[in-house]
Structure 1
Amino acid sequence: MPPNNSNESRKLENPNEFLVIPKWINEDYFRPIIEKDVKDFRSIKNFTPIAATQPGDNYTSVMVRVIVDIELKDSSEQQVSYILKTTLEMDKGGDLVAGMNLFPKEKQMYQVHIPNFVRLYKEAGVDIELAPKCVHIDESPEGITLVLEDLKQQNFENVDRLKGFDMEHMRRVIRKVAELHAASAVTYEQNGPYDEMYSRSLYSESNRHMFEGLGKMRHQQYIKAMREWPLPDVEEYIANLPSPTEFFDKGIKLNSVDENEFNCLNHGDLWCNNIMFSEDRTLFVDLQVGRWGSPAQDLWYMITTSPSLDIKVKEFDHFIQIYHTRLVECLKLLKYSKSIPTLREIHVMMIKYGDWGPITMSGVLVAVLMPSDKDSSINMMMAPGPEGDAFRYKTFINPYYVKAMVQLYPFFKNKGII
């Protein structure tokens, strides 16, 4: 890791002053991690933990950037930094997250699947990166903690989620998604089915009560907000709006996997903040909700959440073509022996599993397009009563979200999806 100004850590701005950093994230915890990660490490000179994300950029974990000034055995000094990701406290949404299997999935993705996918490409003669290096995983009765390399130290950045990807960034992301999908399909072919937890999405019967309860709390505020949008024929859309039970039933139905089609391990949470870019590298982060099934899930999720509005609908078919071209290249490179899907078959999948689009639009996109707000949290999203209603209504009339809805509702209607 390159040396940096040892005073830099003191100048770094904390992006979320409201985050309470657990006291156990300290020098004692990190010393053995650094000893293993940094050759010739001698001692810690300065230790600075700060929030890794702004309010509203992450809802399901505590994300801390740890900046450490260290001394090496030759008495030179160096600055290293890491991203620590750990579970929320139980009374701050941790109980909800624990029931979703997010951290066990991510642990296995970093320990097993991502290294295996990279190895497949290496054996085929190609170096392909998919995710940052995980330098430490800690599991205890309280939860799972991951320590990852800090990609910002290597000049990686996110694209502004409120602006979205331009065409060049979309091209890079789509190609990377195809690389992930291809390697995961070949792994399934070679090793058999993935762990059973990858057969489940957040839409499981065990979560029905929670999701329907949230749906009922937000339904009235959502309709109230819709009537303020400049959306032609808004009453027609309101009349056809699924009830919370119908909405959840659509999610349950999407869990079905047709083994006669091409399937893959989906990233499951593909939006701007979970993809990082340097000048010539593109990597995924946040590998918590992977799911085996149709690639349509990742494609709908990414296209619904992440391109800028000027290309989101206009370039839809082009996005699918870019994906298909790279998918075919990678499947052939990795010697996939089953039938390779045609471009037409991918388009058919997009319609067949089209409910992923409106589900993403009505759900996660609300949070994706909400400007940074100190009140943004999973607890506030689900809070009952007037305070929670006011926050939910605020997210539904957010101008960024409204502009997207005015574009997406007619798009989904014309596709026959709503």
Structure 2
Amino acid sequence: MSAKPINPNEHLDIPQWINEDYFRPILEKDVDNFDRIVNFTRIAATAPGENYTSIMVRVVLDILFKDGSQGQTSYILKTGLDINKGGAMVNQMGMFPKEKEMYKVLVPQFVKLFKDAGQDIELAPKCVHTEETPERITLVFEDLRRRNFQNFDRLKGFDLPHIRCVLRKLAELHAASAVYKELCGPYDDMFYKSLFSEQNRMMATKLKELRDPGYIKAMREWGIPEIEKYINKYPSPSKFFDNGIKINQVEENEFNVLNHGDSWSNNLMFNYKENGEIDQTIFVDLQLSKWGTPAQDLLYMIITSASLDIKTKEFDHFIQIYHERLVECLKLLNYTKRIPTLKDMHIMIFKYGSWAFNTATGVLVATSMPSDKDSNMDNMMAPGPEADAIRHKTFINPYYVKAMQQLLPFLDRKGLLDFE
């Protein structure tokens, strides 16, 4: 049998119910001629700081087949956080019900639309098992590593070849989702909800009030000329939340799509040809999918995941790359409504552009932080001096500071820091 896999996060407390008994019926259904499990290994699927909203476990199984031969397979299991360690917020945001619906119903339908139009397009890994209990929703996926998929280095950020593939993949997802709505009617209500809803106002503003003094203090350590100009434009928690609600309102007379919702580098995987060229690109983690303007996915992707040498320099080019593939896919899938022009897309990006500020001051803090055992939802949200110190470490992280040295002046020049 193969050597024992290396655990990337020894600090992860893996639930005891993730065991041989849980996986035996999954194997009986998923693996031809399965007889029994010879060896069962469970390890963290991601390093600390790579995932914040769920428990991700890689399960490696040495198995015996009915003909006496042996083999190995593996899966990725995804389940909810403990209710006291960030799970309450994740539950309030309805992340797992969305993801279950995406994997079991919507993504297969989107893939079928392309297949019926003559193209085999893969959007997400195969989901082999779902379970819903009063305590949790659990999803089990194929392990994409078995097909040589891998993440790109999130601290380097995507170079132009990678982000081109990502933008084209976003366009495929978006186009299929727009056509599906035409054919099948509105999505479930949960896909119209985001963190920015009135029921979350108190929780979100309290978190901002807890976090903002330390963030503004850190801004003065970034070495940005005229930093007080940017600090003076920094919105209060209530103004920030009001703006978030405004951005997330759906204007049905505009072109809308089902956004991935968390389109940053760790939620995309690639495999490669022998010559090193990218072969396939695939999405993972569909917990935050939301119907609305495609500007949200585009801004989120560019702000979090484009490498610094192209993040602002190629900004307009990124929109063009996306738009070209979007038009191709909408035509292929016989979209009957007006297809947005490139000019329409740029207007949309500007109209919803403050989403770039939300992303830069929020999720980018986490996604640019090197792997750290203290990087978890609990510490990001906790009050007190210990949590303040952990947050401060993320705010002055050199990767984040370099990004903000570039992004703050860029967003200001576009008028995207004006919240009045």
TM-score interval w.r.t. the shorter chain? Answer: over 0.9
Q: 1:30 matched to which residue of 2?
A: 23
Instruction: Give the counterpart of 2:151 among 158, 163, 169.
Output: 158
Partner SS for 1:93: helix
User: Given residue 163 of structure 2, which amino acid in structure 1 is its aligned partner?
Assistant: M
Distance 2:301 2:111 in 1: 22
Distance 1:65 1:328 in 2: 38
Q: Deviations over 1:4-61 (max 9, x none)?
A: xx233x1x21000000110000000000001100000001000000000001111110
Distance 2:49 2:12 in 1: 12
Q: 1:293 matched to which residue of 2?
A: 292
Partner SS for 2:357: helix
1:15-414 equivalences in 2 (<5 Å): 15-279=8-272, 280-414=279-413
Partner SS for 2:16: coil
Distance 1:98 1:219 in 2: 24
How far the C-alpha of 1:94 sits from its partner, in A, is 1.1
Q: Deviations over 1:115-173 (max 9, x none)?
A: 00000000000000000000000110011000000001111000111111010000000
Unaligned runs of 5+ residues in structure 1 are 1-5
Distance 2:358 2:114 in 1: 34
Partner SS for 1:82: strand
How far the C-alpha of 1:218 sits from its partner, in A, is 1.1
User: Given residue 123 of structure 2, which amino acid in structure 1 is its aligned partner?
Assistant: L
Q: Which moved more, 1:272-281 or 1:204-213?
A: 204-213
- Matched residues, number: 411
Distance 1:204 1:353 in 2: 17
Distance 1:166 1:271 in 2: 13
Distance 1:361 1:144 in 2: 30
Partner SS for 2:245: helix
Distance 1:296 1:257 in 2: 12
Partner SS for 1:68: strand
Distance 2:46 2:269 in 1: 13
Distance 1:139 1:131 in 2: 21
Distance 2:258 2:303 in 1: 19
Q: Deviations over 1:231-269 (max 9, x none)?
A: 111010001110111111111111211111110000000
Identity of aligned residues (%): 65
Distance 1:369 1:162 in 2: 6
Distance 2:350 2:406 in 1: 18
User: Given residue 2 of structure 2, which amino acid in structure 1 is its aligned partner?
Assistant: N
Distance 1:398 1:206 in 2: 32
Distance 2:389 2:242 in 1: 27
Q: Which moved more, 1:405-414 or 1:206-215?
A: 206-215
User: Given residue 21 of structure 2, which amino acid in structure 1 is its aligned partner?
Assistant: D
Q: Deviations over 1:203-223 (max 9, x none)?
A: 111111111111111111111
User: Given residue 143 of structure 1, which amino acid in structure 2 is its aligned partner?
Assistant: R
Q: 1:3 matched to which residue of 2?
A: none
Partner SS for 1:348: helix
Matched, 1:7 2:2: yes
Distance 1:227 1:28 in 2: 54
Distance 1:88 1:223 in 2: 30
Distance 1:152 1:415 in 2: 41
How far the C-alpha of 1:230 sits from its partner, in A, is 1.6
Distance 1:27 1:365 in 2: 38
Distance 2:159 2:204 in 1: 33
Q: Which moved more, 1:114-123 or 1:253-262?
A: 253-262
Q: Which moved more, 1:201-210 or 1:310-319?
A: 201-210
Partner SS for 2:76: strand
User: Given residue 369 of structure 2, which amino acid in structure 1 is its aligned partner?
Assistant: M
